[in-house]
Structure 1
Amino acid sequence: MQEFLVPRNSCPLLFPETKLQLLKNPEDSAASTAIVDVIVVGGGNAAMCAALSASESGATVLVLERAPEAARGGNSAFTGGAFRVAYENGDDIERLVPDLSAEDKAKSDFGTYPKSQFFDELMSMSSLRADADLIELLVNSSFETMEWLRSQGVRFIPSYGRQSYLIEGRQKFWGGLTIEVSGGGVGLMEALYRRAARAGVTIAYDHNVQDLVIEHGRIVGVVAKVGGEMKVIRAGAVVLGAGGFHANAAWRASYLGPGWDLAKVRGSRYNTGDCIGLAMRHGARAKGHWSGCHGVFYDANAPEFGDIDLLDQQKNYFTLGIVVNANGERFINEGEDFRNYTYSRMGAELLRQPGGIGWQIFDAKTSGLLPNEYRVKHATRITADTLDGLIQKIEGVNRERLARTIREFNASVDRSCAFNPGIKDGLRTNGLQIDKTNWAVPLEQGPFTAFEVTTGITCTFGGLAINTSAEVLSVEGPPLQGLYAVGEMVGGLYYVKYPGGAGLTSGSVFGRIAGREAAAFVAAQK
């Protein structure tokens, strides 16, 4: 029997043992006692919020992270750290960012993002398929959860670089995405892990959970693969926060459809859907858009899997230029809406194009507005002083058709409207097969820049059914006793489209709920 120390919580619930025992044989589980109140499976934002919440509620907590310590943090570590949160005015933002300087306050137009708008956008973007009860809870809890994250040591800052433009001397925020974590996704996870260490939460890395332990109809632990051996780890309740199946090429092809096995993985390579599968084997109900995902324009030469040292591979500010395929033709309305509401389906659009590749093209009037993801040295960038020079440098495109596409685009722009990236400005084209309906700046002023892109997948939309207590629901209807799910494992929140920043917010909201509810469930077993 292998064992290691688990710090004693200041207020343990049912299981005060201080030795965590890992049984080598799952068959031995009946002879063992639970050695921790709550097991959390996964190490991203949602999982760590669940762990901190359970600990805060008096439970002893063990986090089982499949990845090694150097790769911890799940998909959350690969994000920009932006959170979508309902707020009434700038005063609310100042509560979340209390260290704003007087200069920052004076130059910022934070606007407003009320609960009603947040709710309506989530529901409308799902074509009203999303679980309204979960969406309402997510929206209503978003602001207080951000305040709770601040109390856990997370530092928020305004998203000046990615979510605002300087309009008439003030930073105008657009798209309902106003705050992000200092240090991005990496900064978020560092803050949560620091707090977990202070709270006495135990983290066990390289633990690949393979199964659940069930006794008398209740989940009482997990079976994990550790160093080639199967171990049983018992607990009073289990929270699953191990992510979706975006890193599983076989599942992508099976559920998302042909070609998705070719997509590059934007985030963690460890999110393969295993925990979704094991929960369903034990009667958990599948829910959500299993043939849908968050897929973006991604650098054509990015690694196959996300690399924490090579972030900013996504290319999401296509609204400021045009996008063409290998035939040299535009295939989307780049100005349909703010990028926060359209970017997550662009990967699917590109995957349907010849060869699954394309180019985003900008001229000097808009290229200066592009954020850091376009400026990193590893971006696949092509530049030229003239359009003809740029076209001749692009390999793999029908150059003659591309030249005609740009001429037709420039000629069709309604020049009576003024360009304003902070609003839907109505600067559009007319008469094209696919018109650009906002921000249609003609490509006329050099130097010109093109970025070669392919499809990168961020997360999948299909997962497990939960209720408002984050309990996993069975196929028959009632919850599976002692089992909770959070983060990208949850189905029913997103269908078809995804609004930027909603994932981190939902992970924190339901993670906090799951940890609190799991601790209460354990206490109720006394």
Structure 2
Amino acid sequence: MNDAPETCDVLVIGGGNAALCAAITAAEAGASVLILEAAPKAYRGGNSRHTRNFRCMHHGPLGPLIEDYTEEEYLADLMKVTGGRTDDRLARLAIRTSEECLPWMEAHGVRFQPSLSGTLSLARTNAFFLGGGKSLVNAYYRTAQRLGVRVLYEANVTHLTLEDRQVTRVAYSHDGQDKAVAPRSVVVAAGGFQADTDWLARAWGPAAKNFLIRGTPYNRGVVLADLLEQGVDQVGDPTQCHAVAIDGRAPKFDGGIVTRLDCVPFSIVVNKNAERFYDEGEDVWPKRYAIWGRLVAEEPDQVGYVIIDAKSLELFMPSVFPPIAAQSIEELAQKMGLPPAKLRTTVDDFNAACGDTSAFHPTELDGVATTGLTPPKTNWARPITEPPFYGYSLRTGVTFTYLGLKINERAQCSIGGTPMQNLWAAGETMAGSILGQGYLAGFGMTIGTVFGRIAGKEAASHAN
């Protein structure tokens, strides 16, 4: 709908998973809801368009999920990747509530498929969306439309007026005009600031100019910056983010999931000097893939190179781009712009450090490790000897940033520790409340779904 109301019960800023969960929940509670989405309709949905799955606690089989996944195991997985940098109360709230979210998602149009095999190993922990994130987003928009939620696309929020700890007016531009709405309640679900590469560079330094942005180019942090400048409580470190190593040939923005590389466990990874710099076999991929974006960011020119051989080519989900292939390590080095003699030495040293590979198991920690090599490879260490040899370039791909709005268990924002009267946050905008560092596959969707629903419920209750 293209009408622009001057008031509404609940205004939702953003158009992705968290925003839609908030809007649907508020509308079902009887509130009039308006969504302001910065993207054009064809690109609606924020980073949710590129997601594939939802990490879910469950007691016994649930939907496509097998066996069980307990609260304590889920929390232990989260603590491992965050190094304990999380709010325990909010983390447990997200984990516990995730179990009831999956049936709610199905009831609101989301369909699931069996989880994928191979390096993902997620059949017990993560439910995969049939048709991917775009299908999820479209299903939610259809549900929202049936509930009477109004949506304005290409609506760029520019300022929220705060008076006495409440939002009294929201200014935005739409159809080339400056407009405003006076909502009773506001839910901010507008993502992080990762698409503003100048802001990334202020946080990370000039190296950030070499980063690629995996998701939407519309998450520029305008609303986040506006609220932080007005004293709304913040959480998180601007240098922490969900960053993975992606195919170096990916576009600057919006490459999405298809540019991710899952081959690291079966490879050696070298920098531009053909030197290894980290243990490629540290853990199963869903628990460790998100560290590689930061690792590559710390190497010269923020680039890395994956080297595998023919026996590993079918063990992982490939990038949308084909690998570089060669019949020898030296030829591969030349094609990839690496020093051939040095890469030959690195591969030979690695191969010499490999031992018995009979216990190799591609989807489990197998203990097939190197001996006497620094850094070691502690699992899946097989010699790279079988031509053709293959390579991918790696660059840091930022999904979303963790600097955000601090919330409580009601998803309520605050100023000076005192809750605001009518401002809530959900999704990537507040994910830093739980993710101090690192990432766990599918957990961003958990955060968005859980706190989107909470924010929508609280916002509607206040408005009514």
TM-score, normalization by structure 2: 0.95
Aligned residue type for 1:88:
H
Aligned equivalent of 2:103: 147
Deviation at 1:144, TM superposition (A): 0.5
Distance 1:494 1:270, change over 3 A: same
Aligned residue type for 1:339:
W
Q: 1:84 aligned to 2:38?
A: no
Deviation at 1:380, TM superposition (A): 5.5
Aligned equivalent of 1:497: 438
Deviation at 1:256, TM superposition (A): 3.2
- Correspondent of 1:424 among 365, 368, 390: 365
Secondary structure, aligned partner of 2:216? coil
Deviation at 1:448, TM superposition (A): 1.9
Aligned equivalent of 1:279: 227
Distance 1:277 1:392, change over 3 A: closer
Q: Work out the CA distance in 1 between the residues paired with 2:254 and 2:266.
A: 26
CA contact under 8 A between 2:329 and 2:343: conserved in structure 1?
no
Distance 1:70 1:481, change over 3 A: same
CA contact under 8 A between 1:413 and 1:430: conserved in structure 2?
yes
Aligned equivalent of 2:81: 125
Runs (4 or more) in structure 1 with deviation over 6 Å come to none
Aligned residue type for 1:320:
F
Deviation at 1:471, TM superposition (A): 0.6
Distance 1:294 1:446, change over 3 A: same
Superposed CA offset, 1:60-94 (max 9, x none)? 11100011111111011122x211111233x22xx
Q: 1:477 aligned to 2:448?
A: no
Secondary structure, aligned partner of 2:462? helix
Q: 1:488 aligned to 2:428?
A: yes
Give 1:66-81 correspondences, 5 Å limit. Answer: 66-79=38-51, 81=52
Aligned equivalent of 2:287: 341
Aligned residue type for 1:463:
G
Secondary structure, aligned partner of 1:193? helix
RMSD of Structure 2 on Structure 1 (CA): 2.0
Aligned equivalent of 1:28: none
CA contact under 8 A between 2:119 and 2:262: conserved in structure 1?
no
Q: Work out the CA distance in 2 between the residues paired with 1:246 and 1:217.
A: 27
Deviation at 1:191, TM superposition (A): 1.3
CA contact under 8 A between 1:125 and 1:495: conserved in structure 2?
no
Q: Work out the CA distance in 1 between the residues paired with 2:206 and 2:335.
A: 31
Give 1:215-230 correspondences, 5 Å limit. Answer: 215-230=163-178
Aligned residue type for 1:225:
S
- Correspondent of 1:465 among 383, 391, 406: 406
Secondary structure, aligned partner of 1:312? helix
Deviation at 1:452, TM superposition (A): 1.5
Aligned equivalent of 2:21: 49
Q: Work out the CA distance in 2 between the residues paired with 1:414 and 1:287.
A: 46
- Correspondent of 2:309 among 342, 346, 363: 363
Aligned equivalent of 1:411: 352
Aligned equivalent of 2:197: 249
Deviation at 1:150, TM superposition (A): 0.7
Superposed CA offset, 1:351-372 (max 9, x none)? 221222221122222211121x
Superposed CA offset, 1:412-464 (max 9, x none)? 01215511022110001011110000011211222221111211111111111
Secondary structure, aligned partner of 2:259? coil
Distance 1:215 1:419, change over 3 A: same
Aligned residue type for 1:487:
G
Q: Could you say which structure has the larger radius of gyration?
A: 1
Deviation at 1:220, TM superposition (A): 3.2
Q: What are the ranges of 5 or more consecutive residues in structure 1 without an aligned counterpart?
A: 6-19, 23-34, 98-108, 165-172
Aligned residue type for 1:61:
V
Q: Work out the CA distance in 1 between the residues paired with 2:356 and 2:67.
A: 28
Secondary structure, aligned partner of 1:190? helix
- Correspondent of 2:33 among 61, 65, 73: 61
Q: Work out the CA distance in 2 between the residues paired with 1:76 and 1:503.
A: 9
Secondary structure, aligned partner of 1:271? coil
Secondary structure, aligned partner of 2:433? coil
Superposed CA offset, 1:147-172 (max 9, x none)? 111110101122224655xxxxxxxx
Percent sequence identity is: 37
Aligned residue type for 2:271:
N
- Correspondent of 2:68 among 100, 103, 112: 112
TM-score, normalization by structure 1: 0.84
Aligned residue type for 2:451:
F
Deviation at 1:174, TM superposition (A): 4.8
Aligned residue type for 1:87:
H
Superposed CA offset, 1:242-290 (max 9, x none)? 0001111111112234411320111000111111111123321110232
Distance 1:355 1:220, change over 3 A: same
